Amino acid sequence: MNSLVDLQAWLQTPPGQYVLAWEREHVDAAVADMFGYHALQLGILELAGLQNNRMPHRWLATEQWRKPGEATDQTPDFCTHFAALPFPAQSLDLVLLPHTLELSDDPHATLREVERTLVAEGRVVVCGFNPWSLWGLRQWRGHLLRRLGWGSLYLPAAGEFIGIRRLRDWLNLLGFEVEVVRFGCYRPSVSHAGWLQRWAWMDRLGARWWPVFGSAYFLVAVKRVRGMRLLGPPWKAVPVPTRSPVSVANRVEKHSESFNRETP
């Protein structure tokens, strides 16, 4: 089972639906206020991240096609390798990466390709699992126990979860400026929908007392270009009072004439 299929199966579970609901809420609110002409989502089909965006051209791309008859909420527009997108440089205004980097074989190459295709002041939106959380701790313990021959994992087995600090460093090296970072999903790592609902009060408490330890995160970064200057509205020219200019030569000649008249 590859990493994408593993995540797709996990997203159908109660914890997966809980994470998807949180991500939909934040992605829909963020992309509604992002303007431009071309938007692209790379990754899972379970999250329709661009449906609330108003750009005229929007695409959904995956690295592999779904099998015929497989249940899905969306149909991808094309299939491509995320490290070699079929778009010219500086042609996209928005790129959405829902769990894309942590499932990629080379997340650095994927992020570099996103930087290449984004226009100046274009934005990238990233969703991912936080390894420094209750869920991340259980996942780490599960990997340790599996090496000993027993135990199970709570989150998808494939993929490498990227911490927010590490992701910030990658973005800064590529010239991005992080605008928004939010954490969520503070409920314990339980699998039953009823128990997840009983722990709903943890979301309010966690957001207040330990916000950076949410099990999922949402990030928005903007591509900055050094030396670029945004042109503002033209300002009305301030009138300058006109005066008759007097050349330096004339003033020198007049001064010398007056000096000669006074000299006996």
- Backbone dihedral angles phi then psi of residue 222, each to the nearest 5 degrees: -115, 140
pLDDT in tens, 184-202: 999 999 999 999 999 999 9
Contacts with 115 (C-beta within 8 Å, 6 or more apart), sequence order: 174, 175, 176, 223
Pick from 187, 185, 191: nearest CA to 217 = 185
Amino acid found at 238: V
Q: Can you tell me the mean pLDDT for 63-79?
A: 70
pLDDT in tens, 6-34: 888 899 999 999 999 999 999 999 999 99
Work out the percent of the chain whose per-residue pLDDT is above 70. Answer: 80
pTM of the predicted structure, to 2 decimals: 0.81
Pick from 33, 32, 218: nearest CA to 125 = 218
Contacts with 167 (C-beta within 8 Å, 6 or more apart), sequence order: 101, 126, 128, 219
Helix (H, G, I), strand (E, B) or coil at 157: coil
What is the residue-wise DSSP string for 216-237?
EEEEEEEE--TT-----PPPPP
> For residues 44 and 8, is the Cβ–Cβ distance under 8 A?
yes
* pLDDT bucket at 160, cuts 50 / 70 / 90: confident
Domain 3-223, second-level architecture: 3-Layer(aba) Sandwich (3.40)
What residue segments make up the domains of the chain, in order of their start? 3-223
Instruction: Look at 125 and 250; give whichever has higher pLDDT.
Output: 125
> For residues 215 and 129, is the Cβ–Cβ distance under 8 A?
yes
Spacing of C-alpha 143 from chain mean position: 29
